[in-house]
């Protein structure tokens, strides 16, 4: 009987991530803030986001994910984007990527897994899930609270491309607190250990 329970538990844990992906969001919290225009150099814009209720903690085995929705810019290589946490820790999300290839309504996701690697330096930016450019990645945010955040967007180069300049925009950005799959694995290992002890 115990063997059947153990097998059932392990199978459930093995298929839990897929079930979550198919039927429910695989994150614990999600918070979205509005975006806006990205003005030309010396343009520096600050986009605040407050997680409510305040005091949610990002700790191991939780992670963080950033999504920038519908980014549009005629010259994405001009852009520098940083995420700053409530304690002043900053992470460089992207810097001088995408060459001078226009991006239009492209949604980009960034996390420490980055299934699509880094954003291209000399190629077209397309929708996907990428690694942040800065060292330390999102792991630097795993010891703090999550109340007030800032997304900082900088256009660091003038394009001399007419009266309209190279103004860009994005619709919004979202921060998600994500459980790590390792949590499920550890749960399974712990359950098997308990059953073995009882058998003895």
- Quickly state the pLDDT bin for 20 (edges 50, 70, 90): very low
Residue with tokens 């460089």: 92
What kind of architecture, by CATH, is found in domain 26-179?
A: Sandwich (2.60)
Q: Domain extents for the chain?
A: 26-179
pTM of the model: 0.76
> What pLDDT is attached to residue 141?
84
Q: What digits encode the pLDDT tens for the residues 74-103?
A: 989 999 999 998 888 899 999 999 988 999
Q: What digits encode the pLDDT tens for the residues 100-142?
A: 899 999 999 999 999 999 999 989 999 999 999 988 789 888 7
The continuous run of DSSP H or E covering 165 comes out as: none
Say if residues 176 and 138 touch (Cβ distance below 8 Å): no
Structure-token pair, residue 17: 């991530």
Q: Which of 42-51, 56-65, 98-107 has the highest mean pLDDT?
A: 98-107
Say if residues 103 and 119 touch (Cβ distance below 8 Å): no
């Amino acid at each position: 009987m115990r063997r059947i329970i153990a097998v059932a538990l392990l199978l459930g844990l093995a298929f839990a991530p897929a079930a979550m992906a198919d039927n429910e969001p695989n994150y614990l919290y999600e918070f979205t803030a509005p975006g806006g225009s990205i003005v030309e150099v010396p343009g520096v814009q600050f986009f605040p986001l407050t997680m409510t209720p305040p005091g949610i903690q990002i700790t191991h085995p939780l992670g963080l994910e950033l999504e920038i929705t519908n980014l549009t810019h005629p010259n994405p290589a001009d852009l520098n984007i940083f995420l700053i946490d409530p304690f002043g820790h900053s992470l460089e999300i992207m810097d001088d990527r995408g060459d001078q290839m226009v991006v239009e309504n492209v949604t980009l996701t960034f996390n420490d897994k980055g299934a699509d690697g880094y954003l291209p330096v000399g190629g077209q930016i397309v929708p996907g899930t990428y690694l942040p450019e800065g060292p330390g990645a999102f792991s630097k945010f795993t010891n703090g609270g999550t109340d007030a955040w800032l997304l900082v967007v900088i256009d660091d180069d003038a394009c001399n491309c007419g009266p309209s300049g190279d103004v860009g925009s994005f619709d919004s950005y979202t921060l998600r607190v994500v459980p790590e799959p390792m949590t499920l694995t550890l749960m399974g290992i712990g359950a098997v250990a308990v059953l073995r002890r009882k058998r003895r």
